[in-house]
A and B are shown apart, each in its own frame.
Chain A
Amino acid sequence: MFKLFRNLAIAAVAAVGFISPAAADLSDVLSSGTIKIAVPENFPPFGSLGASGEHEGYDVDVAKLIAKDLGVELEIVPVASKQRIPYLETNRVDLVISSMGANPGRAKSIWFSSAYAPFFSGAFATGDMAISSPADLAGKTVGLTGGTLEDLELTRTAPKSAEIIRFGDNAATLAAYASGQVDVLVTGNTVAAGFSKQNPEKGIETKFIIKESPCFIGVKKGSFDLLQWVNVFILHKTLGGELNTLSEKWFGQKLPPLPVL
């Protein structure tokens, strides 16, 4: 009987070892030799599965640079938007580089680094349409992806006569605009840039910006050393031009001035 209890106790203690150790701060990452970084599961050009079966994108390249500068192995963890903060809080990942915008709500749970990628959501349409503010959307059909930043903003600011059609995801919104179902496309600048590249004959241009929402790297609360390191990394890569190279590669635009936290 005692032997049974003793063996069970040993098994329980051993099982605890299966729970991953908290490799949260910089010294833990360096000593464990691996950094786990969350990247977008499917949000090109920030992160998506490439034809080679590996994840690729702006965020993935930034993650690779970080691992190289730290001198550790990189473990990419593709995540959905909802999983970004929980994974960080429970130590499943050490950093979140996943086109994450900073707002006070999120700042209650995690820390943000300085901005590393540009992102704004805006209204896009062909050159012949004279639109320069939400008021000009009167009487036009607007297509956007439901539940996004631009959805929240435009619902507030658009005039009553503007018809807003919400789609389930970016792909559906773009398809609707391409087929002429909607007159005006409201989405993120990178999504519009990708659309432009694939459909240059549409000739869409930016009409007005709805919200500037640059992307920040997420760090777990309390990992002060890691946060400082990431900020120095971003500064170094911005001044050195590596981020600019990546921006031109993935977004087709130069890296604009980004806010520093």
Chain B
Amino acid sequence: MSDLLVMLFGKPMGIMLFQLLSATQYTIYLSAIAFAGGGLIGGLVTLARISGQKHLRRFASGYIWCFQSVPLLMLLFLSGLGVPRLMGQDVDPWISAMASLTIYASAYLAEVWRGAIQSIPSGQWEAGRALGMRFFAILRAIILPQALRVALAPTVGFSVQIIKGTSLAYIIGFQDLMNIGRRWANAPVDGTEPFIVFPLMALIYFALCFPLSRFALYLEHRLGTIGKTPPAATA
């Protein structure tokens, strides 16, 4: 693969492209892990946020407020550089990046999903209770299918933010696309000046993010866009 690129573009461009593309896989892995983990934890926090118990609601509120206020960069600093300094022991950049991005994603996704669930008219909840269903049953059968349509666009929009957020992980030494690209841009090698490397990286990030947005559009068409569904009957 690297030989093919070197043959096509010559050194050092071919080698640089190969390194950038191999580093992109780590960006993809980190984004996927952050989205999955953040989605899981965000889902739990959403449940706590809309639950009947006051203390659970307060805890979820506090969690969301805290991690929406803290910049992602600071989370990365604290976990990747602060903790090693305090404990005197190295923390693997992977662990630190995964933890920071997961927490960051969970706070934002929880808020998006809470908004989607609360946008469903309360008549739906009442109808479910009238049928004798309990909280989780109503959620699963009635509320979530409707909330899905509302939540789809912001969730995918945020997953694009996650991909861009992974670019901050270079601070803690995480070897992703941004880190490798910066290294080449700073290198005193002809043909790898910043004005060549950074547009290339922008293209790669675009190639990662654009399909996601198109996929969201496709899903929205499949599920029926919000304007086309008739409003739910309210008492």
Contacts and interface: CB of A to CB of B under 8 A. Distances in A.
A48 interface: yes
Interface in A42-69: 42, 44, 48-53
Contact of A18 (B12, B18, B81, B95): B95
B45 interface: no
Interface residues of B, number: 24
B15 A22 contact: no
A86 B82 CA distance: 10
B88 A89 contact: yes
A15 B89 CA distance: 14
Contact of B186 (A19, A41, A77, A83): A41
Interface of A: 15, 18-20, 22, 41-42, 44, 48-53, 77-78, 83, 86, 89-92
Contacts of A53: 12, 15-16, 18-19
26 contacts: A18-B94, A19-B91, A19-B92, A19-B95, A20-B90, A20-B92, A41-B183, A44-B188, A48-B187, A49-B184, A49-B186, A49-B187, A50-B187, A51-B190, A53-B15, A53-B18, A77-B173, A86-B84, A89-B85, A90-B85, A90-B88, A90-B89, A90-B91, A91-B89, A92-B84, A92-B90
Contact of B11 (A18, A19, A52): A52
Contacts of B90: 19-20, 90-92
Nearest to A90: B84
Nearest to A93: B90
A51 B95 contact: no
Given A86-B85, A90-B84, A90-B85, A52 B15 contact: yes
Contacts, number: 62
Given A90-B84, A92-B84, A51 B11 contact: yes
Contacts of B11: 51-52
B188 A48 contact: yes
Interface in B10-33: 11-12, 15-16, 18-19
Contacts of A41: 183, 186
A19 B99 CA distance: 13
A208 to B, nearest CB: 28
